[in-house]
Structure 1
Amino acid sequence: MAPPSGAMLSVIVTPPGGPDDIANLFARLVPAAVDGLVREVFYAAPDADQLAPLCEEAGARTATSLEAARGQARGPWLLIAPATFRPAEDWQDRVGAHLARGSGVLKLKGIKPGGLFARAPTAELRPL
């Protein structure tokens, strides 16, 4: 589903998660950027500068806090997700439909990681 006109997301990726998690999530966001749904991506953490090369390679920016990333965000909507978040296959359609309705907060449940007691990380979509 194509995004509604002018409805682009600023994605803020937060801890927990290491460089592999961050790179994996960035890679999963690329199709949404190509489709025009994702406008920009930030990695927001106190140690974000240490991961600046990884972020720059992926076209993402760094911020030292969630608040700082929110202040730099230019999209009308924010998707805030932990680095361990793995979006489900239909996430772009769900987000596009939500944006078309123009409604408030949407919780997106990610793909459950392996492990007996593992919980699927969630992301939150909200208007900026």
Structure 2
Amino acid sequence: MLSVVITPAGGPEDLAFLFARLVPAAVDGLVREVIYAGAADATVEEICEATGARIAEGLGAALAQAKGPWVLVAPATFRPPEDWQDRAAAHLAHRTGALRIKGVRTGGWFARNPSAELRPLARR
């Protein structure tokens, strides 16, 4: 249902924390796939391999690979709030526009997958 594209930011501990927050959503079927968009060192490759995430060469390539009808784009430093999964599922069920989820450090965006056609998302 939802493809997650993670952009490089922070360090491996940030990426590991974000993956831990995404696991329940993957188990529940909200998150279909995770794609890391950027160059990856050995540690990032190891984290992605352990979690089943793919690595793409940049944001454009990651968005082109995304298969879900919706895409969440967030930096690795994104700290989604506890209720993010419920809010995201409700939004996906009833809305068609973009939504910004504010996290503790940084926010993430998700919107309908534009079939690999890149276009800016309007801020709300």
TM-score range, shorter chain: 0.7 to 0.9
- Counterpart of 1:84 in structure 2 is 77
CA RMSD of aligned residues (A): 1.1
The yes-or-no answer on 1:15 pairing with 2:8 is yes
Where in structure 1 are there 5+ consecutive unaligned residues? 1-7, 112-119
- Paired residues for 1:1-128 under 5 Å: 8-45=1-38, 47-48=39-40, 50=42, 51-111=44-104, 120-128=105-113
Q: Which structure has the greater CA radius of gyration?
A: 1
The residue matched to 1:89 in structure 2 has which SS?
coil
Q: CA deviation at 1:62?
A: 0.4
Provide, for residues 5-49 of structure 1, a one-character-per-residue CA deviation record: whole Å limited to 9, x for no partner: xxx11000112121111111011100000000000001111x225
- Contact between 1:48 and 1:63, CA under 8 Å: does it hold in 2? no
In the alignment, the residues of structure 2 paired with residue 62 and residue 23 of structure 1 have an alpha-carbon distance, to the nearest angstrom, of 15
The residue matched to 2:96 in structure 1 has which SS?
coil
Deviant stretches of 4+, over 3 Å? none
Q: CA deviation at 1:85?
A: 0.5
Where in structure 2 are there 5+ consecutive unaligned residues? 114-124
Report the TM-score when normalising by structure 1. Answer: 0.83
Provide, for residues 76-116 of structure 1, a one-character-per-residue CA deviation record: whole Å limited to 9, x for no partner: 000000100011011011111110113210000002xxxxx
Aligned residue-pair number? 112
Quote the sequence identity (%). Answer: 61
Report the TM-score when normalising by structure 2. Answer: 0.86
Letter of the 1:125 partner, please give it. F
